[in-house]
A = this chain, B = another copy of it.
């Protein structure tokens, strides 16, 4: 082996800065020199004693750096024969293409492989930007009245579990969720939503979106057909796209999803997504007749029904509509709910109620997706429900949202009555204002976003081209004053259009 004296090393400059210890600077220098090709495989490096002397430093940091470089395989040492750059380091090291490029050799581009994404990765990336979701301004859809949340009570419950945490609060939890929480959810859903289930069927998720994603993964193979409401919830579409499914849009009218259309055209669908209590975004309620027709069809055809009951806590006219799941006698309905709207979105807690024979598959899918949900908030929310704060909060918010809805309808009628037509039942946290025919709702939403107002264009809920544009206006998170100001600004966005 050719001996290369220490003086042949490229110059090492040590910085006097205290933040980077000498051993680290030396390690970094050697690694860069080896991977950059300045030090060649098989080249001898100086002894630690000589290098320390040359650098006018103590021997300790040099020993530390060499130990690390030997451990990682950049250097190799032979007893009595000194230390060398590992001969096994590949000759065409990484920085070489760059070096060659600097030397005018243009091999670089050809030598680099493609940077391919999956088809679903490309499809998701190419979705149009939703700039109206970048701000939390007036009319942000799904945003509840955060300033009316009983934060004092809540933070005490959080502190209770955080200060003296049980082992369960810190260690690995079950993929299905924290059992007392699941029991509280089962009880609540049975009493208030007419859902027929026990705690063993409840999987706690990080919100309704994860429930959708897991359902898509468990139920759908690539290219399987899934029926969706048109217009419908855009994020549900994204979850099904991730699973590689084919989307079949089904029209919606004043009775909700057009079940007759489903039965006529969608014999081969593997699953169907529906928001029967309060259709998203149009706000209609599915009639009892259609519910029964849909369930009969699903049972006969072997189609899974995914029921998204995202905001049924807030129904102002009559009592909440009972769930589709409660009518199902064949275990065909997967029922999804969330606490994002009733409590607050950053809680990241939702749930899915699954037929008993699907529990094992959902469990495995959750385990493979992200193992389990953080336990602290699950425990705090269990107490919040058990101690009655939850029911009280819903009652208070129902009153508040009735007022906010009235204020919004009022402001729209007074300020924009000439250019909008309101639709949507007296329920939930949003309504739809149809715009004059020919108005580009995406353009209006973009302009509004620039003014700090978050309105969603109705057309973003369509797979096909809608006959008429509109705006989806959330009223959960806006005060009467913000409503008044917001609508003034919104009027300008439509006028200028």
| A→B interface (CB under 8 Å) | 31, 34-35, 64, 67-68, 71-74, 86, 88-90, 92-95, 97-98, 111-122, 124-125, 127, 133, 136, 140, 142-143, 146, 149, 151-152, 154-155, 158-159, 162-165, 167-173, 205-207, 209-210, 213, 217-222, 224, 235, 238-239, 241-244, 255, 270, 285, 287-290, 292-293, 295-296, 298-303, 317-319, 321-322, 327-331, 344-348, 357-358, 360-361, 364-365, 367-377, 477
Q: Check if B318 sits within 8 Å of A170, measured CB to CB.
A: no
Q: Check if A93 sits within 8 Å of B292, measured CB to CB.
A: yes
Q: Check if A299 sits within 8 Å of B121, measured CB to CB.
A: no
Q: Check if B125 sits within 8 Å of A361, measured CB to CB.
A: yes
Q: Check if B322 sits within 8 Å of A288, measured CB to CB.
A: no
Q: Check if B370 sits within 8 Å of A205, measured CB to CB.
A: yes
Q: Check if B170 sits within 8 Å of A90, measured CB to CB.
A: no
By a CB distance below 8 angstroms, the chain B residues around A299 are 94, 97, 111-113
Q: Check if B239 sits within 8 Å of A172, measured CB to CB.
A: no
For the complex, what is the distance from the CA of A357 to the CA of B165, rounded to whole Å?
41
Q: Check if B368 sits within 8 Å of A239, measured CB to CB.
A: yes
Q: Check if A112 sits within 8 Å of B163, measured CB to CB.
A: no
For the complex, what is the distance from the CA of A67 to the CA of B285, rounded to whole Å?
14
By a CB distance below 8 angstroms, the chain B residues around A121 are 217-219, 361, 364-365
By a CB distance below 8 angstroms, the chain B residues around A360 are 125
Q: Check if B127 sits within 8 Å of A364, measured CB to CB.
A: yes
For the complex, what is the distance from the CA of A121 to the CA of B366, rounded to whole Å?
11
Q: Check if A115 sits within 8 Å of B357, measured CB to CB.
A: yes
For the complex, what is the distance from the CA of A371 to the CA of B264, rounded to whole Å?
35
Q: Check if A88 sits within 8 Å of B287, measured CB to CB.
A: yes
Q: Check if B159 sits within 8 Å of A162, measured CB to CB.
A: yes
By a CB distance below 8 angstroms, the chain B residues around A165 are 151, 155
For the complex, what is the distance from the CA of A477 to the CA of B170, rounded to whole Å?
12
By a CB distance below 8 angstroms, the chain B residues around A243 are 118
The 15 listed contacts between A and B (C-beta, < 8 Å) are: A86-B287, A88-B287, A89-B288, A94-B295, A111-B300, A113-B299, A121-B218, A124-B365, A168-B346, A171-B344, A209-B369, A235-B367, A238-B368, A242-B369, A348-B374
Q: Check if A171 sits within 8 Å of B71, measured CB to CB.
A: no
Candidates B73, B113, B116, B146; contact of A167 at CB < 8 Å: B146
Q: Check if B345 sits within 8 Å of A172, measured CB to CB.
A: yes
The residue of chain B having its C-beta at the shortest distance from the C-beta of A162 within the complex is B155
Q: Check if B300 sits within 8 Å of A213, measured CB to CB.
A: no
Contacts A97-B329, A222-B222 known; list 10 others, CB within 8 Å: A72-B287, A90-B292, A92-B296, A112-B299, A124-B368, A143-B171, A151-B164, A151-B165, A217-B242, A348-B373
By a CB distance below 8 angstroms, the chain B residues around A155 are 159, 162-163, 165
By a CB distance below 8 angstroms, the chain B residues around A270 are 116
The residue of chain B having its C-beta at the shortest distance from the C-beta of A378 within the complex is B346
CB distance from A367 to the nearest CB of B (A): 7
Candidates B74, B92, B162, B346; contact of A158 at CB < 8 Å: B162
The residue of chain B having its C-beta at the shortest distance from the C-beta of A303 within the complex is B113
By a CB distance below 8 angstroms, the chain B residues around A171 are 136, 143, 146, 344-346, 477
Q: Are A321 and B374 also in contact (CB < 8 A) when A158-B158, A369-B213 are?
A: no
The residue of chain B having its C-beta at the shortest distance from the C-beta of A126 within the complex is B364
The listed residue with most B CB atoms (<10 A of its CB), out of A112, A121, A143, A301, is: A121
For the complex, what is the distance from the CA of A205 to the CA of B206, rounded to whole Å?
12
The residue of chain B having its C-beta at the shortest distance from the C-beta of A147 within the complex is B167
Candidates B67, B115, B154, B217; contact of A120 at CB < 8 Å: B217
The residue of chain B having its C-beta at the shortest distance from the C-beta of A219 within the complex is B118
Candidates B115, B167, B364; contact of A125 at CB < 8 Å: B364
For the complex, what is the distance from the CA of A247 to the CA of B222, rounded to whole Å?
18
For the complex, what is the distance from the CA of A35 to the CA of B196, rounded to whole Å?
15
Candidates B90, B302, B330; contact of A289 at CB < 8 Å: B90
By a CB distance below 8 angstroms, the chain B residues around A292 are 35, 89-90, 93-94
The listed residue with most B CB atoms (<10 A of its CB), out of A165, A346, A361, is: A346
By a CB distance below 8 angstroms, the chain B residues around A114 are 302
